[in-house]
C-alpha cells in the first residue's frame, strides 16, 4: 500500500533509503558522494522541513514493513526514491511514481515531475517515461542525470 507518510514514518523511511543506497548506488559513487548522501538522509533540517510540510514523504508498506519510499522537494522534484531489495521488480517503485504523479497533478496543480537519477536508477526512470534533460553530472561526489516526466502524457496513457 502506498500512502502519504506520517511523522512517525520518517526514521524507517530514511533507514530504508540508506540501506538501499549502500547496496545499489554507493558502488557508483566516490567516498565524498557516499558521505554527502549519508549526511543528507541524516539531516535534522530535512526532518524539520518534512514536519513543517515543506518536504513530502510517501511510503509503500507491506504488513507494517517499509518496502519503498519517495520524497518530493519543491512540490515536484523527486529527491529520494528507494525500494527494499526484496521488492525490486514487484511494482513498488512504479506504484510510488504513479501515486506521486497523481498527487502532484491533482493536489499541486503541476504538470511535470523532475528527478536527478542515480546511474543505477536511470533505466527504471526511462521505462516509466522520464526523459533526460541533460548529460550525467557530478556535484559534491553525487552522480546523476537530470530527468523530467510530463504528467499529462503519463496520466492519460495509464488511466
| Residues whose CB is less than 8 angstroms from the CB of residue 19 and which lie 6 or more positions away in sequence, other chains included | none
CATH 3.40.630.30 is held by the domain 2-158: yes
pLDDT tens for 70-104 read 999 999 999 999 999 999 999 999 999 999 999 99
pLDDT tens for 24-42 read 999 999 999 999 999 999 9
Is the pLDDT assigned to residue 127 strictly greater than 60?
yes
In the chain, what are the domain boundaries? 2-158
Measured between its terminal Cα atoms, the distance across the chain in Å is: 19
Amino acid at each position: 500500500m502506498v500512502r502519504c507518510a506520517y511523522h512517525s514514518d520518517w526514521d524507517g523511511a530514511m533507514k530504508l533509503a540508506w540501506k538501499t543506497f549502500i547496496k545499489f548506488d554507493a558502488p557508483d559513487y566516490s567516498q565524498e558522494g557516499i558521505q554527502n548522501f549519508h549526511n543528507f538522509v541524516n539531516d535534522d533540517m530535512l526532518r524539520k522541513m518534512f514536519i513543517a510540510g515543506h518536504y513530502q514523504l510517501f511510503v509503500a508498506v507491506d504488513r507494517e514493513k517499509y518496502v519503498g519510499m519517495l520524497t518530493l522537494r519543491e512540490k515536484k522534484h523527486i529527491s529520494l526514491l528507494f525500494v527494499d531489495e526484496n521488492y525490486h521488480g514487484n511494482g513498488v517503485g512504479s506504484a510510488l511514481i504513479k501515486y506521486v504523479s497523481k498527487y502532484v497533478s491533482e493536489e499541486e496543480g503541476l504538470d511535470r515531475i523532475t528527478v536527478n537519477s542515480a546511474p543505477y536508477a536511470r533505466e527504471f526512470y526511462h521505462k516509466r517515461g522520464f526523459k533526460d534533460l541533460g548529460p550525467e553530472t557530478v556535484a559534491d561526489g553525487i552522480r546523476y542525470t537530470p530527468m523530467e516526466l510530463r504528467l499529462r502524457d503519463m496520466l492519460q496513457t495509464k488511466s
